[in-house]
Chains A and B, each alone.
Chain A
């Protein structure tokens, strides 16, 4: 099956490990991700102002590109892209007045009414392949690997775009269990990592990261599993600094769920691009006999 794929900016630059491992895994599971021939940045954040329509144009133009390709839905890997595309789509679908204004402004485009469905990879895994379908394909079970699923914000909030229960999601936990991992539940799984405040207020984001990581460590996790490239950066890149500030802190690898998926499907370490992870996960994976 072919599925239209919108990568977004970060997957083509900083998060090749997310993209490469996702595409290879989906191919192994029988789904071919076909990148849109034309796409632009989605704007990363959904405009929260009633009188600001212009910022909805970037995500909507991408959805128009999907429709032009003759596809009814588009898959995203980046949590920010998922949220922005999905929310812009709901707006144009449900608000007739704003739909008319936006469509008449984008004179050069064909009218768009929210026909395209925006999906995240995790939804395809759960709803179409199914956890049993995933575990049937596992050749390297992640036995003995203690991982804590961390969801972040944009796959769960607001309610109308949530891919799972807002306060008590289980989708990552179920995926990791079907890969044979030992899942560690911890209370900060849906707490914000500080997001874009990393740019202007990096010292506060360090505290957010410390809260999340130290909790996961206390509950026995050996690695944290994420889906969002910004969570990956905020929680991974500055662990050395956290260690300097809090002596009791131990560094902990942050992994994309797609890297563990690819590994357990037997696709090999190369496709996972572990060299791009901020804290090298290879010593941990080697110690568990999952890579050589």
Chain B
């Protein structure tokens, strides 16, 4: 993948916004990859969790938006408890989701879920999916 790095991007509002919403210090990450190694959903991700952190640091908002990674995160917090640098990646994932959701763009569309699926799913599945993946 060819990526263009520029000073303008590195100092963009996007990077500041992610740090502000997540409360995490992005430079703390030293790219060891432990988060990606333990992530139970990484098999389905084109961009791995540690790559997401790196792309955020470079201000590459569009590249992150092109991948489904942040929407596949199940907030299981495996990465958070294992990070040797104390970075809570689950909060960075949440901040990235919120930046989209706060523009009133949903990832899951409740009205498109079949009635029988809704009837069989436990309430905690529906409520948490809508809390995490809808505006």
Contact = CB atoms under 8 A, between A and B. Distances in A.
A14 B76 contact: no
Question: How many of chain A's residues touch chain B, expressed as a range?
Answer: 35 or more
B131 A55 contact: yes
B41 A194 contact: yes
A200 B98 contact: no
B85 to A, nearest CB: 15
Interface residues of B, number: 41
B61 interface: no
B90 A44 contact: no
B6 interface: no
A78 B41 contact: no
Nearest to A188: B40
Interface stretch (A118-126, A152-160, A256-264): A152-160
Given A48-B75, A194-B41, A200 B108 contact: yes
B41 A204 contact: yes
A229 B90 contact: no
Contacts of B128: 44-45, 80, 195-196, 230
Nearest to A197: B74
Nearest to B19: A50
B101 to A, nearest CB: 10
B80 interface: yes
Interface in B76-109: 76-78, 80-81, 88, 90-91, 93-95, 98, 107-108
18 contacts: A10-B122, A44-B127, A49-B95, A50-B20, A50-B23, A50-B91, A51-B20, A157-B77, A167-B81, A192-B41, A192-B74, A195-B76, A195-B125, A197-B74, A199-B108, A199-B121, A200-B107, A230-B128
Give the 8 A-B CB pairs with smallest separation, nearest first. A192-B76, A199-B129, A48-B94, A157-B77, A196-B128, A9-B123, A195-B74, A196-B129
